[in-house]
Structure 1
Amino acid sequence: MSSVAPRALARRLKALREDRWPDAGLTQAQLARAFGGVSISLISSWENADRPVRPPTRRIEAYATLFATRRSLDGEVHLLPVEDLTDEERDERKDLLDELLWLREGKEKEVAPAETGAADLWTFDDPEQRITIVCAPLPEKYRRNLSYADPESADFVSLYTYADPDALIELFGHLRARNPDNPVAFRTSDELTADEFTSHLVLLGGVDWNTVTKVVINRVDLPVAQVGRADDAEHGGFRVQEGGRSKLIEPRLDEQGHLVEDVAHFYRGVSPFNRKRTVTVCNGMYGRGTLGAVRALTDGRFLDRNTAYVRERFGGEESFSIISRVPVIGGQGLTPDWTLEENRLHEWPEAAG
Structure 2
Amino acid sequence: MGIRQGQLAKAFGGVSTSLISSWENTEKPVSPPVKRLEAYATLFATRRSWTGGSLRVLTLEELTDDERDQRKELLDELLWLREGNEPEPAEPEVVDLWTFEEVDQRITIVCAPLPEEYRRNLVYADPESADFVSLYTYADPDALIELFGHIRARNPDNPVTFRTSNELTADDYTGHLVLLGGVDWNTVTKVVINRADLPLEQVGRAVDAEHGGFRVQENGQPRLIEPRLDAQGHLVEDVAHFYRGVSPFNRKRTVTVCNGMYGRGTLGAVRALTDNRFLDRNTAYVRDRFAGEESFSIISRVPVIGGQGLTPDWTLEENRLHEWPEVAK
The answer on 1:193 being equivalent to 2:164 is: no
- Find the counterpart in structure 2 of residue 78 from structure 1: none
Q: Which runs of no fewer than 5 residues in structure 1 stay unpaired? A: 1-93, 99-117
Where in structure 2 are the equivalents of 1:40-79 lying within 5 Å?
A: none
- Find the counterpart in structure 1 of residue 50 from structure 2: none
- What CA distance in whole angstroms lies between the structure 1 residues aligned with 2:311 and 2:145? 16
> Which residue, out of 143, 160, 184, partners 1:167?
143
Higher alpha-carbon Rg: 2
- What CA distance in whole angstroms lies between the structure 2 residues aligned with 1:121 and 1:132? 15
The answer on 1:97 being equivalent to 2:73 is: no
Structure 1 residue 120, shift from structure 2 partner: 0.6
**Higher strand content, 1 or 2:** 2
Q: Could you say if the C-alpha distance between residues 298 and 197 of structure 1 is closer, same or farther in structure 2, counting changes exceeding 3 Å?
A: same
- Find the counterpart in structure 2 of residue 146 from structure 1: 122
Q: Could you say if the C-alpha distance between residues 95 and 221 of structure 1 is closer, same or farther in structure 2, counting changes exceeding 3 Å?
A: farther
- Find the counterpart in structure 2 of residue 16 from structure 1: none
TM-score by length of 2: 0.72
- Find the counterpart in structure 1 of residue 298 from structure 2: 322
- What CA distance in whole angstroms lies between the structure 1 residues aligned with 2:235 and 2:251? 38
Q: Which runs of no fewer than 5 residues in structure 2 stay unpaired? A: 1-88
TM-score by length of 1: 0.67
- Find the counterpart in structure 1 of residue 285 from structure 2: 309
Count the aligned residue pairs: 241
- What CA distance in whole angstroms lies between the structure 1 residues aligned with 2:261 and 2:97? 23
- What CA distance in whole angstroms lies between the structure 2 residues aligned with 1:332 and 1:154? 32
- Find the counterpart in structure 2 of residue 270 from structure 1: 246
Letter in 2 for 1:97: P
Cα deviation code 1:14-42 (max 9, x no counterpart): xxxxxxxxxxxxxxxxxxxxxxxxxxxxx
- Find the counterpart in structure 2 of residue 342 from structure 1: 318
The answer on 1:241 being equivalent to 2:217 is: yes
The answer on 1:299 being equivalent to 2:294 is: no
Where in structure 2 are the equivalents of 1:94-133 lying within 5 Å?
A: 95-98=90-93, 119-133=95-109
Structure 1 residue 119, shift from structure 2 partner: 1.5
Structure 1 residue 352, shift from structure 2 partner: 1.9
Q: Could you say if the C-alpha distance between residues 212 and 95 of structure 1 is closer, same or farther in structure 2, counting changes exceeding 3 Å?
A: farther
The answer on 1:282 being equivalent to 2:258 is: yes
Aligned-partner SS, 2:300: strand
Letter in 2 for 1:166: D
Moved more, 250-259 or 240-249: 240-249
Letter in 1 for 2:206: A
Structure 1 residue 157, shift from structure 2 partner: 0.3
- What CA distance in whole angstroms lies between the structure 1 residues aligned with 2:220 and 2:105? 40
Structure 1 residue 229, shift from structure 2 partner: 0.3
- Find the counterpart in structure 1 of residue 77 from structure 2: none
Cα deviation code 1:156-195 (max 9, x no counterpart): 0000000000000000000000000000000000000111
- What CA distance in whole angstroms lies between the structure 2 residues aligned with 1:141 and 1:190? 17
Structure 1 residue 221, shift from structure 2 partner: 2.3
Letter in 2 for 1:140: E
- Find the counterpart in structure 2 of residue 38 from structure 1: none
- Find the counterpart in structure 2 of residue 41 from structure 1: none
- What CA distance in whole angstroms lies between the structure 2 residues aligned with 1:246 and 1:178? 39
Give me the identity figure in percent: 86
Aligned-partner SS, 2:167: coil
Dislocated runs of 4+, deviation >4 Å: none
Cα deviation code 1:79-132 (max 9, x no counterpart): xxxxxxxxxxxxxxx95022xxxxxxxxxxxxxxxxxxx521100010110000
Aligned-partner SS, 2:91: helix
Query: Cα RMSD between the aligned structures?
Result: 1.0
Structure 1 residue 200, shift from structure 2 partner: 0.2
Aligned-partner SS, 2:97: coil
Cα deviation code 1:141-170 (max 9, x no counterpart): 000111000000000000000000000000
- Find the counterpart in structure 1 of residue 113 from structure 2: 137
Moved more, 240-249 or 277-286: 240-249
- What CA distance in whole angstroms lies between the structure 1 residues aligned with 2:206 and 2:113? 18
- What CA distance in whole angstroms lies between the structure 2 residues aligned with 1:224 and 1:290? 17
Letter in 1 for 2:318: E
The answer on 1:205 being equivalent to 2:200 is: no
Aligned-partner SS, 1:291: helix
Cα deviation code 1:214-247 (max 9, x no counterpart): 0001101211110000210000000011121110
Letter in 2 for 1:221: D
Letter in 2 for 1:96: E
- Find the counterpart in structure 1 of residue 84 from structure 2: none
- Find the counterpart in structure 2 of residue 250 from structure 1: 226
